[in-house]
Amino acid sequence: MKTLKVLDLFAGGGGFSTGFLQASYPDINFEILRAVELDQAACDTLRSHIGEDRVIQGDITTTEVKEEIYTSCSDVDVVIGGPPCQTFSLAGPARSGTAEMRQKLKDDPRNTLYKHFFEIVDRIKPVFVVFENVEGMLSKKVDGAQELNNKQAQVIELICDELESKGYKTGIQDSISDRFQVLNAVQYGVPQNRKRIIIIANRLGMDNPRLDPTHGWDDKPFLTVKDAIADLPVRLPKISFARLDSLKNIDVIKNNYKASLLTFMNMLKDLAIKEVHCKQSEGVMELYSSLKEEYELIKDKKTYKMYNLKKFIEKYNELILKYSVNQFRDSQELCNHQSREHNFRDIIIFIKTKQGSNSARFMNHESDDYDRFLDSLYPYSRNKHKDTYVKHSWNKPSNTILAHMEKDGLKFIHPEQPRTLTPYEAQLLQSFPKEYVFQGGRNDQYRQIGNAVPPSLAKVIGESILEMSMRFEKINGVQAI
């Protein structure tokens, strides 16, 4: 079996590496020789999956780390990586923040990390290079390119020029001009809409493969949220109540006290019936039955509503622990399937928002999803983005999984359960294997998962390189490597 050795730069939690290790082609495969990463939690994740001695932890811009790469990877065949480019993203402060924040991001040294990527490529001279980045790079331009008479040039085109100046061919099959591809991961077996720029380059003088979609046909449709996470056990969130009285628009809940409690109880009842039928989490029925007693005691109270609501929440929080519907499981693979804490106002919003809808729609009087109660309950400014809350649909692919999930996760509401997605659900929507375990705290996990290249997409890229290598040898009668 022939093996191509891979260097994974800016490796993060290992999405690119995982996909390449999954890639298969007759008589040839990949070996991850080294993965380079700065973040501690991500390095711990990498070590647990590819081995302690294969991880280089450190700042790739330093001479020390570069020398370690050059020493250990002199015979590497493939360099892969997606240098972080913060201001290229279509989401977040780079697009919508204050002028000061935008300038800070513009000056962020992470925006020049791709230069170090190519410095390493130039020194090692692998046969293949794969460069991945966010779609927002397409709109990124730079000034002062002398060869372009100081006109602005697209960063992505300059990156292709840089590769070609180092002896790599970036051209793509069946095209006289294309040098990069914009791929949507949903078309390659990932249950998520996620567009990324991919450059495949080689020193063989061959046109690079155009990656034809593997999914989206009648006989092989896109994978959905349901395909990815529907069979997981129920996780119910702990409800915070320490600052319940001061929550913005909590008076809307107070003025609709009985209806809000009923909304919550009906949700639990629906989950309990479904879970008993599916035998996924028998504790939900016990929780519902026990909490119903408390509900019957307080539902018709006309006074001390907030006091009674706090008692109700306290009882619920006790019961989710008693009936193990928000605890770590014994199995290692489910250890990251635990909900973050939410407040009662948000939970009511989660429940009442329709699947596949969002706050921009439930506040729009012209929308079929308009809901007067939710409109009055919405607690954020309406002068900027109104899609603060986004509820996923079982029957569609997920929206793009983002590292921003470490902040609040409100754009990633579960289709049925009153919470945002767990790290384990996010990893499955990114197409990581079920047995893959991310290290670090919950925020570390969200960040690693959100920044990752989906392994199923990486697998297709890897297989195209394996096929190209073998095709070169067949045509030329000599080894590509």
Catalytic residues: 85
Query: Strands, DSSP E only, in 166-301?
Result: 181-184, 195-202, 239-240
Query: How many Å apart are CA 261 and CA 256, to the nearest integer?
Result: 9
Q: How far is residue 33's CA from residue 72's CA, in Å, rounded to a whole number?
A: 8
Closest CA to 136 of 102, 92, 103, 89: 89
168, 174 in Cβ contact below 8 A? no
Identify the H or E element spanning 333: none
> What residues contact residue 431 under an 8 Å CB cut-off, 6+ apart?
185, 189, 190, 191, 192, 454, 455, 456, 457
Which two three-digit tokens encode residue 253?
Answer: 């809940």
Of 111, 116, 108, which Cα lies nearest the Cα of 36?
116
Burial string for 340-364 (b: 16+ CB within 10 Å, else e) reads bebbbbbbbbbbbbeebbbbbbbbe
Return the residue matching tokens 């991310």. 438
Instruction: Take residue 307 and report the two structure tokens written for it.
Output: 């006091």
202 SS3 class: strand
HSE-up (13 A, CA, CB side) for residue 292:
11
Q: Output phi, psi for 397, to 5 deg.
A: -65, 160
Contacts of 290 (CB under 8 A, 6+ apart): 319, 322, 323
Cα–chain center distance at 297: 43
* 212 φ/ψ angles, rounded to the nearest 5 degrees: -75, 140
